[in-house]
Amino acid sequence: MSESGITVLSEELRGRRRIYTDVEEITENNVIEVLQDAILIHEQNRAEIAYLLTYEKGDQPLKREKKVRKEIDIKVADNIANQVTEFKLGYDWGSPISYVQRGTKDLSGNSPEQDDDGISMLNEMNDAEGAPAKDQEMARYIEVTGIGFQMVDIKQDYEGDSVFDLLTLNPLFTFCIYRNTARQQKIAGVTYRTLKNGERYFTVYTKDRRFEIRNAQEIINGPNQINDKWGFLPRSGEKNPMEAVPIVEFIRAYDRMGCFERQISDMDALNIEVSDFVNGVAQHVQEVWWGNDFDLPVDKETGEAKPPVSGQWLMTKTTQTGKTPIAKPLTSDVGYDGIQSNIQSKRNTILQKCYVPLQSDPGGGSTGTAMSMSSGWSAAEASACKKELIIRKSKMEIIRLELAAIRKSSDIPSDSPLLQLKPSDVYPKFTRQKTFDLGTKTNSMVAMIKSGIHGRIAMQTVDLFPDVAQAWNDSKELIEKFQESLFQKKETAKSDRGQQDLTDQTGNSLILDGMTIENPNIKAVE
- Other CB atoms closer than 10 Å to residue 345's CB: what's the count? 10
- Other CB atoms closer than 10 Å to residue 418's CB: what's the count? 19
β-strands 200-205, 186-194 pairing: antiparallel
pLDDT of residue 226: 44
> What is the rounded average pLDDT of the residues 267-288?
78
Residues 148 and 211 in one domain: yes
Angle between helix 468-488 and 438-450 (nearest 10):
50
Reduced to 3 states (helix: H, G, I; strand: E, B; else coil), residue 201 is: strand
- Determine the structural domain holding residue 336 and report its residue range: 267-375
Residues 350 and 394 in one domain: no
Of the candidates 431, 432, 462, 456, the residue with the CA atom closest to the CA atom of residue 444: 462
Angle at 405 between CA 401 and CA 408, to 5 degrees: 140
In a domain, 414, yes or no: no
Residues 298 and 223 in one domain: no
519 pLDDT more than 60? no
CA atoms within 13 A on the CB side of 220: 12
How far apart CA 152 and CA 402 sit, in angstroms, is: 7
In a domain, 23, yes or no: yes
pTM, full prediction: 0.75
> What is the rounded average pLDDT of the residues 74-80?
86
Residue 428 or residue 304, greater confidence: 428
17 pLDDT more than 90? yes
In a domain, 472, yes or no: no
Angle at 53 between CA 52 and CA 56, to 5 degrees: 80
CA atoms within 13 A on the CB side of 282: 13
pLDDT of residue 496: 52
Burial class (CB in 10 A: 0-12, 13-18, 19+), 434: middle
How far apart CA 416 and CA 409 sit, in angstroms, is: 12
Of the candidates 238, 220, 221, 218, the residue with the CA atom closest to the CA atom of residue 229: 238
Contact 261, 146 (CB under 8 A): yes
Look at residues 375, 400, 431 and tell me which one is the last residue of a structural domain. Answer: 375
pLDDT of residue 400: 95
199 vs 188, 196, 211, CA distance in Å? 22, 7, 16
In a domain, 355, yes or no: yes
> What is the rounded average pLDDT of the residues 403-408?
92
Residues 122 and 216 in one domain: yes
In a domain, 364, yes or no: yes
374 pLDDT more than 60? no
Domain count of the fold of the chain:
2
Look at residues 320, 350, 375 and tell me which one is the last residue of a structural domain. Answer: 375
DSSP state string for 394-450: HHHHHHHHHHHHHHH-SSS-TT-GGGG--GGGEEEE-----GGGHHHHHHHHHHHHH
pLDDT band at 230, cuts 50/70/90? Answer: very low
Which of 169-178, 235-244, 404-413 shows the lowest mean pLDDT across its residues? Answer: 235-244
In a domain, 170, yes or no: yes
155 vs 129, 335, 402, 410, CA distance in Å? 11, 65, 11, 11
Q: 193: which strand partners?
A: 201
pLDDT of residue 76: 83
Residues 294 and 221 in one domain: no
pLDDT of residue 212: 92
User: For residue 150, what is the enclosing H or E element?
Assistant: strand 147-154
441 vs 368, 447, 448, 464, CA distance in Å? 14, 10, 11, 7
Amino acid at 459: M
How far apart CA 103 and CA 427 sit, in angstroms, is: 9
> What is the rounded average pLDDT of the residues 343-364?
81
Using the 8-state DSSP alphabet, how is residue 209 labeled? E
How far apart CA 467 and CA 381 sit, in angstroms, is: 20
Contact 225, 236 (CB under 8 A): yes
Q: 330: which strand partners?
A: 288
pLDDT band at 30, cuts 50/70/90? Answer: very high
> What is the rounded average pLDDT of the residues 228-256?
74
Residues 254 and 113 in one domain: yes
pLDDT of residue 363: 53
pLDDT of residue 10: 43
Reduced to 3 states (helix: H, G, I; strand: E, B; else coil), residue 132 is: helix
Percent pLDDT > 70 in the chain is 75
Residues 220 and 355 in one domain: no
Which of 64-73, 287-296, 443-452 shows the lowest mean pLDDT across its residues? Answer: 287-296
User: For residue 328, what is the enclosing H or E element?
Assistant: strand 326-330
Residue 149 or residue 94, greater confidence: 149
pLDDT of residue 274: 87
- pLDDT per residue over 460-497, tens digit each? 888 777 777 778 888 888 888 888 888 777 455 555 55
207 pLDDT more than 60? yes
Residues 347 and 304 in one domain: yes
> What is the rounded average pLDDT of the residues 15-34?
93
40 pLDDT more than 80? yes
Mean pLDDT of the chain: 80
Contact 97, 430 (CB under 8 A): yes
pLDDT band at 145, cuts 50/70/90? Answer: very high
pLDDT of residue 434: 62
pLDDT of residue 473: 80
In a domain, 509, yes or no: no
Range from 7-11, 58-62, 440-444 that averages highest in pLDDT: 58-62
Residues 102 and 167 in one domain: yes
Long-range CB contacts (within 8 A, 24+) of 374-377: 376/351, 376/352
203 pLDDT more than 50? yes
pLDDT band at 503, cuts 50/70/90? Answer: low
Range from 87-96, 133-142, 369-378 that averages highest in pLDDT: 133-142
34 vs 45, 226, 244, CA distance in Å? 17, 21, 19
> What is the rounded average pLDDT of the residues 354-364?
72
pLDDT band at 104, cuts 50/70/90? Answer: low
pLDDT band at 307, cuts 50/70/90? Answer: confident
> What is the rounded average pLDDT of the residues 305-316?
68
Residues 178 and 318 in one domain: no
Look at residues 375, 399, 421 and tell me which one is the last residue of a structural domain. Answer: 375
pLDDT of residue 130: 93
Which of 97-101, 255-259, 393-397 shows the lowest mean pLDDT across its residues? Answer: 97-101
pLDDT of residue 73: 73
Residues 272 and 156 in one domain: no
pLDDT of residue 109: 66
236 pLDDT more than 50? no
> What is the rounded average pLDDT of the residues 192-197?
93
pLDDT of residue 490: 45
pLDDT of residue 55: 93
501 vs 261, 443, 452, CA distance in Å? 44, 12, 18
Residues 213 and 344 in one domain: no
88 backbone φψ class: left, alpha, beta (φ>0; ψ -120 to 50): alpha
pLDDT band at 306, cuts 50/70/90? Answer: confident
In a domain, 2, yes or no: no
